[in-house]
Structures are given as C-alpha cells and as structure tokens.
Amino acid sequence: MSMKNHNHQPAIRLQDLSKSFGDQKVLDRVGLEVARGETVTVLGRSGTGKSVMLKLIMGLQKADDGEIEINGEAINEMALDELNRVRKSVGFLFQQAALYDSLTVEENVAFPLRRHTGMQADERQARVRELLARVGMEAAMAKMPGDLSGGMKKRVGLARALALDPQIMLLDEPTAGLDPITASEINQLICELQEERRRSSSVVTHDMRSVEQVADRVCLLHEGRIIFAGTLEEMTASHQPFVAKFIGESRR
C-alpha cells in the first residue's frame, strides 16, 4: 500500500467543483491545483464566481458537487471541528479586509490568536506587534478601522490573516479600490510574505498589474469554467478569443 507523500500533494486541489445560486450556475465543474510554494492568480470579470471559489475552499459556503482538498485532506464532508482545524492552516484576506469596526487594530489582529491559541496576553501582544511591524502598521495599533485608509485596512487584514502562521493564503481582490501606488505596495508585500515561508497562495483579482507582480501561474475563469491555465507569458501569447479580449480590456 503506497503512503501518500505529503510534500508532493498540492496545497489546494479542486476537482469538478460546481456551485449554483438558484438558476445561476456560478461554477461549473472547475478543476484547479495550487502546488506547495506556488502563487496562482484567478482572473475573471466581476461576478464570475472567483470569490465564491475562495469561500468554498474555506468552507464558508458549501459546494453543490465536486471535491476540495487542502493539504491532501478532503474538506467537503468534514465535521465543523475538523474543518476548523484545517482552516487554521489557511489565512484569508477578505475583499474589504472585513475588520471588526468596534475593535482596535491590535484587537483585530489578536482575534485569531485569542480564539485559536492558548497564548498569554503579553505573548499575544508581542506577536501582534511583530505582525503589524511586518506590514508597516505598528504605529496604528491603537487606532480604530474607521480611521484607516483602504490600503491600511488591507495591510491590517493581511497581518490578521498571517496571525496563525498559515501555510496557505487566500486573498480576495487584495488591491481592489486602491490607487496604483498603494496597490503596488500591497502586491510587493504579498510577494515578500510568500518568499518568507514558501507559502502557497491563491489570489483572486481582475487587476493585470497584480498578476504581473505576484503570479507564478494564472487561471482565467469565464462563464463558470477555467478556460485558461498557464504562465502569464503563455496567457499573453494565447489566441483564445476571450483570453485576448480580457487582456486587452484589463490593460486599458
């Protein structure tokens, strides 16, 4: 009997993943693998199911059909306590950073540590300080989310997503709504965080500049299916009509 080699398994594996909301089929038998240490960007127009795909991977929504594996473990039928165990190895950056408005920056980043670890208060504070310093936000520890700009919120969201030192990062539109310079800084930060730990990442975006900065591989989602998967160079050279159209539109 052959043992599964943990290191050769993809960090994330989706097979025949389908999801509908009413009559609308958002994902139609999607297959995707993210290797260990690899950053895969998922591109597509708004409303094409990119964010839904991340929520399915996190178990925040349930697939209608298909398989989802995280580090070789199938999560579809997992009980909640098992799912929570697997979730600890995954950091999630929500589209709007999704910070708790009533908590300070420090309390926001400490939230996963408070919930999932037995850390003492001083130990927790040291970890939060270290995380915020890592994303250039240490000076904002006592601020409320309402006092932060969009780019600052994304940085704090990244710090919170890193709190439990996850092996996998899922980033939903990390540069949406940001000016080009701030977006570029966030992309640079994402690259540095990847290299630090050889994390695996799936980044959902419609921003070609993000793809150029962070992606090892690109997937293009269209009408519920992945119609292209490959390197950015291969994508740019593709003669598929929708691929060319998408690149043209997003480079305007």
Each residue's pLDDT tens digit, 202-217: 999 988 889 999 999 9
All residues at 6 or more sequence positions from 23 whose CB lies less than 8 Å from its CB, including other chains = none
Q: Once rounded to an integer, what is the mean pLDDT over residues 63-91?
A: 91
The CA–CA distances, whole Å, from 164 to 77, 111, 176, 178, 219 equal: 24, 10, 25, 26, 28
CATH architecture of 11-89+167-252: 3-Layer(aba) Sandwich (3.40)
What digits encode the pLDDT tens for the residues 106-158? Answer: 999 999 999 888 999 999 999 999 999 999 999 999 999 999 999 999 999 99
Q: What residue spans define the domains of the chain?
A: 11-89+167-252, 98-165
Say how far apart CA 102 and CA 81 lie, in whole Å: 27
* pTM for this model (two decimals): 0.90
